[in-house]
């Protein structure tokens, strides 16, 4: 069986929902993972923020606006009165849930329950739509099998054990639809796989059922060899290895949730990125094999903070880095890049929630300097260390660009360079010209 995931834009209007239906209804049994309609999760985040700030009136107004939008969607989506009625009931149930939080106290569980409603509504509506059009379609409630553990990591074993009974319980169907993004935590409360997490849902399900292929459908024809928002004439990449795709997804290519590749790689299931606007195109195929040596792509990740710790105590001492890393671990902040000299270490983070505490604790080791608004530009491919002149090609391309850090040799799939965000575009263009011959 294949698992196909469609993002927010793909289900962003009644017309697009019908297009998704026509794409998937080819007679082949499959699992379809859907995001919330585009814009919905942002609105739900806004509503939760109002409630956290005890600004209940603004929350009520935002809920009202969103509900009106969904009533229009229902009116446009279905043909029969009976299905219009069913659609309105789905919408009412979710909005009753939202409204229940506008009285009384508001907690994190409340927030996660609110955030889940977008996927709950979109999947229910498309399921009704497909049945109205004569396709035998059943809904698999993701909250019955998707789970995260104590560390908020996806619990693949649990998913594997629980998904088949859920499929059996809903009964025989040609098409199964389920919610992306949402799950339960160890307490059984509603939670999620973080923003953009529907891709991850699809690959977890793919791994759990040992799917033939996992397809991630968006509105672009696959991974590009550079960021089309900043560089002209970028090209679609036909094939990538799991490792290359993981690096690209993590370092900036917005098309795929960074964790998506992992479950697929473990089970060796091909992942294909496909374009809803151009379904006949093969998209980008991600498998265990790389499509030859050399550089495949350049990508950038913004909003990076660089921290430098300079310490006399580092000189010839052991255990220094361990103590530094321990502080980041304690504050659950992951480090992306590091580079060291004998008296200083520089590293980067993108999650700055705990930055103040981290900086304070680091100051016991020496002087701490911080650079904000940096970008990691990363060069991804199957890069052979022995290739002569490779490093000089990279450095020549970067002539005139102030480089704050470089990481080379960590893996053969990635070279990372840290530059000020204001110089990112220039860096991407220069690398594109010199390394990718765009």
Binding residues for Mg ion, rule: CB under 5 A, are 7, 196
Q: Which of 3, 6, 8, 275 binds ligand ASP (CB under 6 A)?
A: 8
* Comparison of 154 and 173: residue with beta carbon closer to Mg ion: 154
How many CB atoms lie under 10 A from the CB of residue 74? Answer: 21
Interacting positions 29-48 with ligand ASP (CB under 6 A)? 35-36, 41
Minimal CA–CA distance to 410: which of 257, 251, 291? 251
Q: Quote the least distance from Cβ 133 to ligand ASP, whole Å.
A: 24
Q: Which of 65, 92, 195, 293 binds ligand ASP (CB under 6 A)?
A: 195
Listed ranges 72-80, 193-201, 239-247, 402-410: which one lies at the site for ligand ASP (CB under 6 A):
193-201
Q: Quote the least distance from Cβ 196 to ligand ASP, whole Å.
A: 4
Q: Quote the least distance from Cβ 178 to ligand ASP, whole Å.
A: 13
Q: Quote the least distance from Cβ 401 to ligand ASP, whole Å.
A: 33
In whole angstroms, give the CA distance from residue 283 to residue 274.
5
Q: Quote the least distance from Cβ 37 to ligand ASP, whole Å.
A: 9
User: Which tokens go with 169?
Assistant: 């319980």
In whole angstroms, give the CA distance from residue 247 to residue 235.
18
* Comparison of 159 and 417: residue with beta carbon closer to ligand ASP: 159
In whole angstroms, give the CA distance from residue 414 to residue 243.
9
Q: Does 258 bind ligand ASP (CB under 6 A)?
A: no
How many CB atoms lie under 10 A from the CB of residue 230? Answer: 15
Cβ contacts of residue 98 below 8 Å, gap of 6+? 44, 47, 63, 114, 117
In whole angstroms, give the CA distance from residue 412 to residue 390.
12
In whole angstroms, give the CA distance from residue 112 to residue 152.
13
Q: Quote the least distance from Cβ 36 to Mg ion, whole Å.
A: 11
* Pair 214, 269: CB distance under 8 Å: yes
Q: Does 198 bind ligand ASP (CB under 6 A)?
A: yes
Q: Quote the least distance from Cβ 34 to ligand ASP, whole Å.
A: 9
Map tokens 């981290």 to a residue: 358
Q: Quote the least distance from Cβ 244 to ligand ASP, whole Å.
A: 22
* Comparison of 7 and 270: residue with beta carbon closer to Mg ion: 7
- Three-state DSSP class for residue 311: coil
Binding-site partner at residue 195 among Mg ion, ligand ASP, none, CB < 5 to 8 Å by type: ligand ASP
Q: Which of 196, 206, 283, 366 binds ligand ASP (CB under 6 A)?
A: 196
Helix ranges, 13-107 (H): 14-24, 40-52, 56-77, 81-100
Q: Does 70 bind ligand ASP (CB under 6 A)?
A: no
* Pair 302, 427: CB distance under 8 Å: no
* Comparison of 91 and 231: residue with beta carbon closer to ligand ASP: 91
Binding-site partner at residue 110 among ligand ASP, Mg ion, none, CB < 5 to 8 Å by type: none
Listed ranges 192-200, 202-210, 247-255, 375-383: which one lies at the site for ligand ASP (CB under 6 A):
192-200
Interacting positions 106-145 with ligand ASP (CB under 6 A)? 118
β-partners of residue 274 are: 217
Helix axes 40-52, 56-77, angle to 10 degrees: 160
* Pair 127, 164: CB distance under 8 Å: no
Q: Given the rule CB under 6 A, which residues bind ligand ASP?
A: 7-8, 35-36, 41, 118, 180-181, 195-198
């Amino acid at each position: 069986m294949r698992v196909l995931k469609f993002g927010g834009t793909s289900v962003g209007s009644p017309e697009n929902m019908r297009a998704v239906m026509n794409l998937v209804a080819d007679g082949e049994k499959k699992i379809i993972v859907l995001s919330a309609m585009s814009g919905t999760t942002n609105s739900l985040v806004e509503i939760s923020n109002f409630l956290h700030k005890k600004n209940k009136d603004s929350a009520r107004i935002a809920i009202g606006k969103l509900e009106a939008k969904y009533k229009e969607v229902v009116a446009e989506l279905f043909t029969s009165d009976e299905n219009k009625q069913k659609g309105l009931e789905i919408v009412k149930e979710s909005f009753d849930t939202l409204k229940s939080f506008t009285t009384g106290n508001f907690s994190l569980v409340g927030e996660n329950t609110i955030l889940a409603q977008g996927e709950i509504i979109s999947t229910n509506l498309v399921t009704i739509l497909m049945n109205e059009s004569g396709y035998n379609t059943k809904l698999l409630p993701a909250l019955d099998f998707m789970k995260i553990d104590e560390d908020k990591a996806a619990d693949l074993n649990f998913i594997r054990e629980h998904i088949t009974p859920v499929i059996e319980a809903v009964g025989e169907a040609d098409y199964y639809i389920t919610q992306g993004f949402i799950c339960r935590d160890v307490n059984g409360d509603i939670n999620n796989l973080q923003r953009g997490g529907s891709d991850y849902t699809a690959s977890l399900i793919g791994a759990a059922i040992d799917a033939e292929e996992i397809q991630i459908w968006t509105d672009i024809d696959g991974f590009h060899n550079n960021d089309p928002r900043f560089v002209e004439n970028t090209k679609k990449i036909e094939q990538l290895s799991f490792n290359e795709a993981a690096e690209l997804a993590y370092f900036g290519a917005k098309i795929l949730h960074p964790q998506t590749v992992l479950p697929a790689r473990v089970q060796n299931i091909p992942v294909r990125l496909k374009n809803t606007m151009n379904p006949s195109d093969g998209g980008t195929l991600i498998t265990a094999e790389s499509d030859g040596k050399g550089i495949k792509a350049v990508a950038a990740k913004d909003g990076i903070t660089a921290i430098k710790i300079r310490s006399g105590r580092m000189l010839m001492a052991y255990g220094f880095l361990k103590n530094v890393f321990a502080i980041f671990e304690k504050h659950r902040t992951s480090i992306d890049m590091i580079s060291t000299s004998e008296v200083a270490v520089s590293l980067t983070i993108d999650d700055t929630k705990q930055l103040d505490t981290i900086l304070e604790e680091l100051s016991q080791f020496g002087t701490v300097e911080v650079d904000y608004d940096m970008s990691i530009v990363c060069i991804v491919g199957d890069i052979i260390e022995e290739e002569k002149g490779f490093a000089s090609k990279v450095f020549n391309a970067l002539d005139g660009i102030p480089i704050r850090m470089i990481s080379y040799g960590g893996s053969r799939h990635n070279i990372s360079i840290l530059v000020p965000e204001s110089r990112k575009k220039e860096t991407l263009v220069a690398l594109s010209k010199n390394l990718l011959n765009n």
